[in-house]
Amino acid sequence: MFIGHWAPAFAAAAISKDAPKLGTLFVAAQLVDWGFFTLAAIGVEKMRIEPGMTAMNPLDLYYMPYTHSLVGSLGWAIGFALILLMMRENIRTVLIGGTVVLLHWFVDLLVHRPDLTWAGGTNKIGFGLWNYPLAAIALELLLIGGAFWWYLRRTKGPAAPPWILFALLLALQAINWFGPHPTVAGPRLYFSALAAFLIITLVAAWTGSTRWHKREVGLAVAS
């Protein structure tokens, strides 16, 4: 799963005017992957390239207890929620942000081979849709497309920014699906992933700054 992880961010922005800003939600939706690639870069969590590992990619994500265990993901969600709590005294904002972080693990559960854990142990789980490309592609497009459509319906503002963001997401997803696969797990791969997350997040932050939830009112809200 790649751009499908940002579906909860769009959905959260659509569901409530109290949701964090879209850029913040995009950070939340991929926070555990930000953590994974950072920890992999310093040798704490580990992956390797094994051609044929799944039908869709060669990633063997064999050690990631701090980010892709359910307990680890819950820890990241609580940490993110605490940061929001320090920034904004709004419990609904805090709960929405933390939930978006935690949903990453459940979205991964659908597509990953058994490489996720409950609490970092040897009992690994994953439904493995990456071994069924048509199903995995359809699921990813359905998630991101449906959430994006809902975001457009529930917010108002210029049309161009969200469509630019959506086009960028689709372009990067096409590269992820149809471009050359990595041959080595190392700093180049890790920092390329982090750079992609950063670019998308910046565009999402710009998009969010141009739109308002339809339930928002006030002098600062565009009519």
Q: Mean pLDDT per 10-residue run, the chain (223 residues)? A: 93 95 98 98 97 95 97 98 89 96 98 96 95 96 98 96 98 94 94 96 98 73 51
pLDDT for the residue 220: 47
d(CA 60, CA 23): 30
Residue 75, CA distances (Å) to 142, 171, 176 in order: 28, 32, 28
pLDDT for the residue 221: 52
d(CA 173, CA 167): 10
Is 128 domain-assigned?
yes
Burial class (CB in 10 A: 0-12, 13-18, 19+), 136: buried
Is 222 domain-assigned?
no
Q: Which of 106, 97, 99 is nearest to 1 (CA)?
A: 106
> DSSP label at 209?
H
Provide the domain count of the chain. Answer: 1
Structural domain containing residue 199: 3-213
d(CA 129, CA 159): 34
- 10, 28 contact by CB (below 8 A): no
Is 221 domain-assigned?
no
d(CA 141, CA 203): 20
pTM for the full predicted model: 0.94
Is 218 domain-assigned?
no
